[in-house]
Structures are given as structure tokens and as C-alpha cells.
Amino acid sequence: MSNRLKVAALTAAFALGVGAVPALAQDDVSFELWTKEGEADGSLQWVQKLADDFMAANPNVTISVVQKEVGGSESLRQDFQLQSFAGNPPALLWTVADHIGPFTAADLLLPLDELVDNAAYVPGGVSAMQTPDGTTYGVPINVGNHLMLYYNKDMVAECPADSDALIEAAIANTDAEAGTFGLVYRQDESFWLVPFLGGFGGVVFAEDGVTPTLDTEAMASALKFMNDLEFVHGVMPVEADYQIADDLFKQGKAAMTINGDWTLGSYSELDFEIGVCPIPPMVGGENPKPYVAGNFFMVSKAVADDEALQGAVIDFIKYATSTDVQLAQLETLKRLPSNVEALSAPSITENPLLAGSAAAVQNGIPQPTNLEMRCVFDAMNVGVRANAASADADQVQLAADMQAAAEAGVAPGGECAPE
Amino acid sequence: MFDFEAALTALTDVGLTLLVLAIAVVLIEAVLYLVLVRWRKSRMALPFMLLAPGIIAILVLYGYPLLYEFNLSFTKMNIRNFVEPGLLGLTWEGTILEGTPLAAEEDIFVGLQNYIDVFTMPVLRQTSVYQLFLQTIIWTVVNVFFHVLLGIGLALLLNRKMRGRTFYRALLILPWAIPVVASLQIWRTEFNYEFGAVNQLLGLIGLGPVPWMSDPFWNFVAMILTNIWLGVPFMMVITLGGLQAISSEYYEAAEIDGATARQSFSKITLPLLRPVLIPAILLGTFLTFNNINVPFFINAQQLETSDILVSGVYRAGIQYTRFGFGAAFAFVVFGILLLFTIWYVRQTKVLKGAYAS
């Protein structure tokens, strides 16, 4: 009763050769799996299939799959925090890397070093789930989550060589009156700013990994480049959130889009042929550097007291990240596996789309997973949205405002202040 | 495919909750019966028994959260300090039963610092409480003004004899009947720059397009337009009820005396609508001031220039996980509304009729 009161107070394409599911412990257990995956690309169905297959092989286990957002309302992060505080959290999360910062800061996750063999997974994926003291709090489901350039081969023959070629190809394919655009991407989220910032030589944090470095010439240049795409070159819609950008590309009304590897599965099934490559290098700059992370399992600390529940949760993680399941996931969702053995399969090395995705990963930089990143994302979001809203946006001032907001968040007393 | 098993589980959960509530009510009533009827033989037993479940529900659902939040407002509870705050920073969970002294497990008590920060630091990423207050005042005044103006205007039209009056009434009440979340999702889509109906309609008359979602000014206008659409039916229905209670004899007498339509409106209609309109305006002001639905949905890009105090409280407390600070901020907003209420009640004497003998 009191837990409920606390809450009141605070306010898949599937079935492709998935291997046999091992039968496990016999105690009746049930748990919730919260996932950030959605229905549109079949990923939610994939999660549900994994749960169903596991339950079929283990009749004593009941898994309830619950979909939660990580963009927009961020219901997964916020609800997990509140439910944990209320003492009734879901046992298992299937979510993005940046949640590791706030969740470990609040001590909500179960350390997994003694429960899972880290050597079975790609080192970059494992390190993304480790706190500075080396404790591992997550298991990689797939590596990537990186932004890259998708292009409609009916409109753009090959990947533009550099940013000038990108603009040229976008202009050639833009007819705003007919509702077709050369380039679309999500304009209201700073995750899409990060590659361009890197392309102009900027970084989000100083070498210490916690001091924001947003008020820089590189940031102003990146914002100016994005603003020019919209208002000078006119190759983008004036207002495009994720759904609109995604729909325009899927409907063949946008020649190119910048989106994450999570859409590779659905985009490869479109009526037209697509190409995939890294975001082209900036003229006079460098290769854009998207954040690389992936999707991860995280286990609630609340399962530590229930041996049977903890066993079932860990067994499900091992099943979902086993080689056969990871290769089936690759076939279904076109996501690069986190399992070392699966990653070297010919189905990856011989597939041009996956090879393009792998090339984009090479340009990427690991996404910081500390709590400070949360405040810096929030601070950059304000500037990104203001920049996308007006042809008259002052990028130098926006960069300064971002820095001030980020510094306030990580300063002593700020909600993202270091421990 | 319909998941019968999941539906059955959900219904079972709901059924069990209702069963527990029913048992609790029976127990409360039984205790009250024994105490008030059998033991005290009180004449007030029946009223107390009828009121008890409601009073207990209000205390549990409103009283406890308010006290909890008030205590929270004196702590620095946030994502780094994600612990049960205890009373004024003292955490005793587990220690009393073990017989150990009441002690702070972790000192997160910060006194009045959160209240000071509300007035001296940005409450959001870049926005101060003063800017949010100004935005809230503009939001509330503009909305309530148009709610009253259009509500009275439409009520006067619908109060006249005309063909299809019932149809028009139903049509105008429609915004009120549609679930708010559903209508706000629709409005958010219709305000899209390229593909929304609003800009396409503006294009037909040679205007626009307007960046409703990304431009700070136009996003604020979009929020106001949506809330006017949502709020007018409430004011119209209240006013219509008031109009129908005015005897036609007053108007007949005025007509005999040679009063014009404007005079009849200002000397008869408005004064006689006052007892209905003043509480409705007070209620409308509170509902608009505290309306988080419209800013939350229409401000899809989370522009701080479109936030009002209550959406700012949500953002500061939940989105930015500054629970202690957010609680203090919420009480500051509560204080502002309390002061307004006292001023409004004194100015309009709105409660006089209710309590006069």
C-alpha cells in the first residue's frame, strides 16, 4: 500500500532459425520486461517472440513485455526511476546506453560481472556498460545505435563524397511545392547534432569526460551548417520530428535521410532500393562522428533478493544474446550483433547494407554514459530546437547558451553534478 | 490478435483491487457502526458513516501526497540522492524495528535552499520562475478572456429560438466530449508546418505557412488556440444554464420601458449571470493556470518559451529528476494560486451567497 502511495505522491519478420531454447529452473517466476522497441520496424514483435519462445521452453516463467518510449516523453527512464523508488520496478530493461548514467547514479541496477560472461560480447559494448570503477551493469544486445546516411537509389545514385556533394544532391531532389525534399532528419533532438559537431572538430566533453565544451567555434559551425540546410539551401522541411522524417523517406518523398541503424531492417524492405553509408565528410572539416552505443539489457537491483527470479532473468539475457538468436536478430532487424561469435558471420561481411553500417560505426565515437551526458543532451536540445526554428538564429549565442545550461546542470548542486 | 489471457489478467487485477476497496469500506462502516450507533448512540452516526469513505479517500489520495511533497521540498532528493527522504532529511527506514536510534542514513536535508533556488536560479535549463510566471499570466488571461467572450456569445446565440438548436448545441459541446489526450494528439498533428491542416487551410486564403511547432511565438499561439477550442464549451454550457434561469418577464418589462437590446444585455443579462459567471471564471482560471495537458502535447519540441508554471514543475521535478527542488517549486506555484484565490474571493465576494444565511 505504501509503495503505491509513494508513486501517487511523486507522480518482429521473425522465426528464422532461432536455436533451441534451453529449459531452466523450475520455480514459478514472472517478471516484466520494459523495452524501448517499437512496432513500426518489427522490433517490438521481435522482443515479444523472444519472450514467447523462452516461455514456451520454460513453462514456469512468465514474461510480460511492456513498450516504453526513450525519445519524446522518455517514459522508460522516468517510469523506471519512479517505480524503483516505489519498490515495484520491472526486473529487466531492453534500452539505450545513456540510461546507465542516471540509473547507476541512483543505484537502481544489479551488477552483472559475476552473472554474465563479459568475454562473450564485443569489448566496446561491455565497456559502455561499465562505471569508472569497472563494474558492469548491462549486457549489449546489439552494437551500433549510430546515425548514418540512407539514400534512395532511384534519386541519388551513390553516396555523396562530401558535404558539398550532399547539398548538391539534396538540392537536385528538392521540390518543396511537390512536398519532396533532398534531405530529412530529426530536427528537434541533439543526438542528430553530435555527428556534425564532430565533423567540425568539436567534442561534447573535455578530456576529463565531464566538463561540457559546447561554447566553441565548432559548435557554432555545426549549428550554422544545419541551419543553412534548412533555410539557405532549402533542402529540408521546416519542421520535421522523427516520425515525419521517417515517413517522408519511406514514402519516397525524401532522397536522403540521416537515421540510426535501428531502421536498417524496415528500410531494406521498402519498395525502392536504398544505399547506406557514413554521413559524408565535411568540406574543410572531418568525418562526422555519430555516437555509437547500442541496445542493452539492464537488470533491476530489486531482483537481487529473489534467487529464482534473478536466475530466470539472467537465463533470458543469455538466451537473447546467444549466437543463434543474434544471427536471427541480424536477419530480422539488420542490427549488428553484440555476440563476438555472431559478429564474424559471413551474413555480415558479405552484405552491402550491413557493410555500410559497419563503416559508419568506424567513424563513430563511444557515447558517454555518465550522468553528465543527460544534462548536456538536455542543454543541447534547447539550442538545436531554437536553431531549427529560425533563419535568423544566432549560432554563436546558441552555443554560449547551451554551455551555460550544461554547466548549470553539472555544477555542484545541479542534478547532474558529479558525485 | 486479441489477447484474452492478458485481458483476463488485467480484469482480475482490477477486480481484486475493487474487492479490497469494498472490504475496506465495509470494515470502516462496521467500526463506525459499532462506535457511533451501538456505543455512542450518536444522532450524527449516519452522516459520519456516509462521509467517512470519501474523507478517508481524500486524506489518502490528497492529504498524504501533499504532506509527503512538503517534506520532500526541504531535501535535495535527485538522481544522485535517490533515497527515501525520511522526515526533514532523517531516514529511519528499518532502524526503528531493529531498536536502533532514529538516525539519518544520508543527510539530504537542505532546509529552505530549494525555495531560495526557485527565485534565484533558472528553474528549467535557461528559464527563470519570473519568465514562467509571466508566460503563465499571459496564457491564463488570454485563454479565460476568450473562453468567457466566446462562451457568452455562443450561449446567447443558442438561447434563441432557431432551427437545429439541439444539433448546434451538440456540435459545440463536442470538444468537451472528446477525450482531451485524443483531441490534443490530433491538434498537434494538424499544426505541422508542411502537412498539417491548419497551414493548408491558411494556404487556401493566401496566408502562412506558420511554424507552429518550432517558433516560440507561434507555438504559444498554437497552445492558446487549442485551449480556447477546448475551453469554450465549458463556459458556454455554464452560461447557457444561467441564461435559461433568467425569467423572460424582465426582458418583457424592459421592452415595455423601451430598453434597447444592448441595455437589456448590460442591465439584465450580465447582472443576473454574475452569480453563475464569477465561480465559473474562478474555476476556469484555476483549470487554465493548472493545465498541463495542452503545453505538454502542443509544445512537442519542449520549448521553454511555451512552458507555464505547472509544465515547468513537471519538467524540473520529473524530467530533470530534481525531486526536492520540483516539490519546492510546486509549493511556490500553490502559494501563487492561494494568494490569487484569496484576492479574487474578497474582490468578488463569490462565497458570500453560499454562506449567507
Closest Cα of chain A to B321: distance in Å? Answer: 7
pLDDT digits (tens, 9 = 90+) for A294-326: 899 999 999 998 999 999 999 999 999 999 999
pLDDT digits (tens, 9 = 90+) for B4-46: 777 888 888 889 999 999 999 999 999 999 999 999 888 889 9
Confidence check: pLDDT of B345 > 90: no
Residues B265 and B177 reside in one and the same domain:
yes
Mean pLDDT value across residues B280-295: 91
Closest Cα of chain A to B65: distance in Å? Answer: 4
Binary contact (A239, B214; C-beta < 8 A)? yes
Binary contact (B65, A378; C-beta < 8 A)? no
Chain A residue at shortest CA distance from B188: A241
Residue B88 pLDDT class (50, 70, 90 cuts) = low
Binary contact (A85, B194; C-beta < 8 A)? no
Closest Cα of chain A to B16: distance in Å? Answer: 14
Residues B297 and B267 reside in one and the same domain:
yes
pLDDT, position A66: 93
Confidence check: pLDDT of B191 > 60: yes
Residues B35 and B82 reside in one and the same domain:
no
Binary contact (B121, A390; C-beta < 8 A)? no
Percent of chain A whose predicted confidence (pLDDT) is above 70: 92
Binary contact (B82, A11; C-beta < 8 A)? no
Residue B106 pLDDT class (50, 70, 90 cuts) = low
Query: Which residues from chain B sit within 8 angstroms of residue A380, using beta carbons?
Result: none
Binary contact (A405, B195; C-beta < 8 A)? no
pLDDT, position B94: 42
Mutate to test the interface with B, among A381, A415, A419 (most CBs of B within 10 A): A415
CA dist A329 and A294 (Å) reads 14
Three cell numbers, residue B8: 483476463
Per-residue three-class SS string for chain A = CHHHHHHHHHCCCCCCCCCCCCCCCCCCEEEEEEECCCCCCCHHHHHHHHHHHHHHHCCCEEEEEEECCCCCCCHHHHHHHHHHHCCCCCCEEEEEHHHHHHHHHCCCECCCCCCCCHHHECHHHHHCCECCCCCECCEEEEEECCEEEEEECCCCCCCCCCHHHHHHHHHHCCEHHHCEEEEECCCCCHHHCHHHHHHCCCCCECCCCCCECCCCHHHHHHHHHHHHHHHCCCCCCCCCCHHHHHHHHHCCCEEEEEEEHHHHHHHCCCCCCEEEECCCCCCCCCCCCCEEEEEEEEEEHHHHHCHHHHHHHHHHHHHHCCHHHHHHHHHHHCCCECEHHHHCCHHHHCCHHHHHHHHHHHHCEECCCCHHHHHHHHHHHHHHHHHHHCCCCCHHHHHHHHHHHHHHHHCCCCCCCCC
CA dist A70 and A52 (Å) reads 24
**What is the residue range of B106's domain?**
73-111
**Chain B: which residues have CB within 8 Å of chain A?**
60-61, 64-65, 68-69, 72, 76, 78-80, 82, 84, 121-122, 125-126, 192-195, 209, 211-216, 300-304, 314, 317-323, 325
Mutate to test the interface with A, among B301, B311, B319, B322 (most CBs of A within 10 A): B301
Chain A residue at shortest CA distance from B300: A72
Binary contact (A390, B215; C-beta < 8 A)? yes
CB A124 within 8 A of CB A65: no
Query: Which residues from chain B sit within 8 angstroms of residue A235, using beta carbons?
Result: none
CB B273 within 8 A of CB A357: no
Mean pLDDT value across residues B307-325: 91
Residue B351 pLDDT class (50, 70, 90 cuts) = low
Query: Which residues from chain B sit within 8 angstroms of residue A408, using beta carbons?
Result: 121-122, 125
Three cell numbers, residue B98: 531493529
Binary contact (B214, A388; C-beta < 8 A)? yes
Confidence check: pLDDT of B219 > 90: yes
Side chain identity at residue B115, one-letter code: Y
pLDDT, position A14: 31
Residue with cell 498554437: B222
pLDDT, position A73: 57
Chain B residue at shortest CA distance from A236: B194
Residues B145 and B94 reside in one and the same domain:
no
Instruction: Please list the residues that pair with A366 across neighbouring strands.
Output: A292
- Predicted TM-score (pTM) of the model is 0.77
Confidence check: pLDDT of B214 > 50: yes
CB A115 within 8 A of CB A316: no
Residues B98 and B200 reside in one and the same domain:
no
pLDDT, position A140: 92
pLDDT digits (tens, 9 = 90+) for A230-257: 999 999 998 888 988 999 999 999 999 9
Query: Which residues from chain B sit within 8 angstroms of residue A301, using beta carbons?
Result: none
Closest Cα of chain B to A235: distance in Å? Answer: 13
* Chain centroid offset of residue B103 CA: 39
Confidence check: pLDDT of B308 > 60: yes
Please, what is the average pLDDT of chain B? Answer: 87
Confidence check: pLDDT of A258 > 80: yes
Percent of chain B whose predicted confidence (pLDDT) is above 90: 55
| Max CA pair span of chain A | 65
Query: Which residues from chain B sit within 8 angstroms of residue A108, using beta carbons?
Result: 82
pLDDT, position A46: 95
Closest Cα of chain B to A39: distance in Å? Answer: 14
Closest Cα of chain B to A84: distance in Å? Answer: 10
Neighbours of B43 (CB within 10 A): 8
**Which CATH number does the domain housing residue B240 bear?**
1.10.3720.10
Closest Cα of chain A to B6: distance in Å? Answer: 9
- A vs B, Cβ pairs < 8 A, gives 114
Query: Which residues from chain A sit within 8 angstroms of residue B319, using beta carbons?
Result: 74, 78
Closest Cα of chain B to A170: distance in Å? Answer: 18
Residues B56 and B142 reside in one and the same domain:
no
Binary contact (B193, A239; C-beta < 8 A)? yes
Chain B residue at shortest CA distance from A87: B84
Closest Cα of chain A to B341: distance in Å? Answer: 24
Residue with cell 520549448: B303
Residue B1 pLDDT class (50, 70, 90 cuts) = low
Mean pLDDT value across residues A42-64: 94
Closest Cα of chain A to B351: distance in Å? Answer: 31
Q: How far is CA A57 from CA A23, A45, A50, A134, in A?
A: 5, 18, 11, 34
pLDDT, position B176: 82
Binary contact (B80, A105; C-beta < 8 A)? yes
Binary contact (A415, B79; C-beta < 8 A)? yes
pLDDT digits (tens, 9 = 90+) for A94-123: 998 888 888 998 889 999 999 999 998 888
pLDDT, position A4: 46
CA dist A24 and A19 (Å) reads 15
Residues B293 and B228 reside in one and the same domain:
yes
Binary contact (B216, A381; C-beta < 8 A)? no
Neighbours of B219 (CB within 10 A): 24
Question: Which residue has better confidence, B346 or A258?
Answer: A258
pLDDT digits (tens, 9 = 90+) for A379-399: 999 899 999 988 999 999 999
Mutate to test the interface with A, among B80, B114, B188 (most CBs of A within 10 A): B80
Confidence check: pLDDT of A218 > 90: yes
Chain A residue at shortest CA distance from B215: A389
pLDDT, position B102: 38
Three cell numbers, residue B148: 468567457
Query: Which residues from chain A sit within 8 angstroms of residue B120, using beta carbons?
Result: none
DSSP B179-220: -HHHHHHHHHHHT-TTT-HHHHHHHHTT-----TTTSHHHHH
Residues B174 and B318 reside in one and the same domain:
yes
pLDDT, position B99: 37
Percent of chain B whose predicted confidence (pLDDT) is above 70: 91
Residues B87 and B157 reside in one and the same domain:
no
pLDDT, position A419: 58
Of A6, A11, A408, the CB nearest to B122: A408
Mean pLDDT value across residues A201-222: 94
pLDDT digits (tens, 9 = 90+) for A132-165: 888 999 999 988 889 999 999 999 999 999 999 9
Residues B176 and B320 reside in one and the same domain:
yes
Give chain B's domain count.
3
Residues B66 and B200 reside in one and the same domain:
no
Residues B199 and B248 reside in one and the same domain:
yes
Please, what is the average pLDDT of chain A? Answer: 88
Binary contact (B211, A238; C-beta < 8 A)? yes
Binary contact (B216, A389; C-beta < 8 A)? yes
pLDDT digits (tens, 9 = 90+) for A56-89: 999 999 999 999 987 655 789 989 998 888 888 9
Confidence check: pLDDT of A42 > 50: yes
